[in-house]
A and B are shown apart, each in its own frame.
Chain A
Amino acid sequence: MAVNRKITVFLVFLFLCIGINAESKMQMPASGQIALIGRVSLNRSSDDFYAKTFRGGNAANPDFVAIKLAENSCEIPEEGIEGAKGGEFFYITLDKKDKIAVRIKGFEYRLFNIEEAYIILPFWKEFTVPLEGQFFYIGSLVYTVEGMLLDVTSVDSVDEYDAAQIAVNKAFNAEIPLRRVPLNDLAEY
């Protein structure tokens, strides 16, 4: 009986661990790391043609948007998260290492998260990482695409700082001091 009780206690402990992990929020950036917060949406007709035409496509899968960093930028750590579902806030942790700036080429937007069904969304902006703070809001971007090959025709930048603040607090389950950063143009290459 004593053995059974031990097993039961162990199992309860195991379930509790699983439960806690399932409920766990985004991991806070470590010292020497920063987090980028923003949102990228694609303004396009919402039918599932592309899910049907691409190999392995599934209309139930959400779009995915991944950040593309330029050279000499703070980098995504190994095993780090590179983006988020299309149209949702992303929280991207970057290693500062010996870099002083975040340089963003753009975003790779994957329709229905299909690897080969991606659109390059240009951004070409940079900012010098401030000495204070770890959480930086870079804006909310809405790209409009047109035509059969979904060419980018325009991009609108929307300031959603307040919504981003609420979202980041929820994601990290803490009061996060979120900062806006002034973005400068980055030379395209």
Chain B
Amino acid sequence: MKRIVSLLLALSLAATIPLALGAESKPTKRAGTPEDSVFIFGCVMDANMIRYTQLDPAFEPAYYQFNHSYYFFEDVEPGSYLKLTTFEHNGPAMFTTYYIGFSGRTALDIRVPTKPGLYYAGYVDFSEMKKKELIFLPVKKYTEVKLLKFLLPSVKNKSWVPVIESRIKELENGSK
């Protein structure tokens, strides 16, 4: 019970933090539109910070960081490869930073779709580290639509707003 109360308190506190505070963009980061870019979003429960690095030399250099468990990256170059390179986990007993490097693999590494638009990277929870691999397990009780509604007010590139709203409608109609 105590745990649930403290979890609720932590969640309510987290909800008061504007999402935009967690976003960090590289000065050279590309500016895009829904017609030529991909909007990647997802959530890693209990993440304090996640950083993806674009590792395919055939595409523009870039990294994407979010200091929150929810994340969204606007204007990602289609076809590029994002590898989770740093992950800060706010565990029950301690706070751990994982530098994953080139040799470590995770299921969260993304080959960005070549088709522009929204890309849902999933809602996952960190499980354990096995040798060089970080294991993340899907969390089923949260949905894409809930996450999109939560993220919508913090989106900076407003040209994504109608795309997200349309996806929310589509998901809500689909679930009825």
Chain A interface (Cβ within 8 Å of chain B)? Answer: 47, 49, 52-55, 108, 115-120, 148-150
Contacts and interface: CB of A to CB of B under 8 A. Distances in A.
B53 A53 contact: yes
Contact of B101 (A47, A49, A119, A148): A119
7 closest A-B pairs (Cβ-Cβ)? A53-B61, A52-B61, A120-B103, A118-B101, A116-B85, A116-B99, A49-B57
Given A53-B54, A148-B55, A117 B65 contact: no
B167 interface: no
A52 B102 CA distance: 15
Nearest to A145: B102
A116 B65 CA distance: 13
Given A55-B63, A118-B102, A119-B103, A149 B55 contact: yes
A53 B56 CA distance: 10
B62 interface: yes
A55 B51 contact: yes
Contacts of A108: 101
Contacts of B51: 55, 116
Given A52-B61, A118-B102, A149-B83, 17 more contacts: A47-B57, A49-B61, A53-B53, A53-B54, A53-B61, A54-B63, A55-B26, A55-B63, A108-B101, A116-B51, A116-B100, A117-B53, A117-B101, A118-B99, A120-B132, A148-B56, A149-B103
A120 B101 contact: yes
A71 B61 CA distance: 38
B24 to A, nearest CB: 9
Given A118-B99, A120-B103, A149-B102, A54 B53 contact: yes
Interface residues of B, number: 22
Interface string B19-32: 00000001010000
Contacts of B100: 116
Contacts of A150: 102
B81 interface: yes
B103 A116 contact: no
B86 interface: yes
Contact of A53 (B63, B65, B99, B103): B63
A53 B57 CA distance: 9
A115 B53 CA distance: 13
Nearest to A150: B102
Contacts of A120: 101-103, 132
25 contacts: A49-B61, A52-B28, A53-B55, A53-B61, A53-B62, A54-B63, A54-B85, A55-B26, A55-B53, A55-B65, A115-B99, A116-B51, A116-B101, A117-B102, A118-B99, A118-B103, A119-B101, A119-B102, A120-B102, A120-B103, A120-B132, A148-B57, A149-B55, A149-B83, A150-B102
Nearest to B83: A149
A92 to B, nearest CB: 21
A108 B102 CA distance: 11
Interface in B8-59: 26, 28, 51, 53-57
A120 B85 CA distance: 14
A47 to B, nearest CB: 7
B53 to A, nearest CB: 6
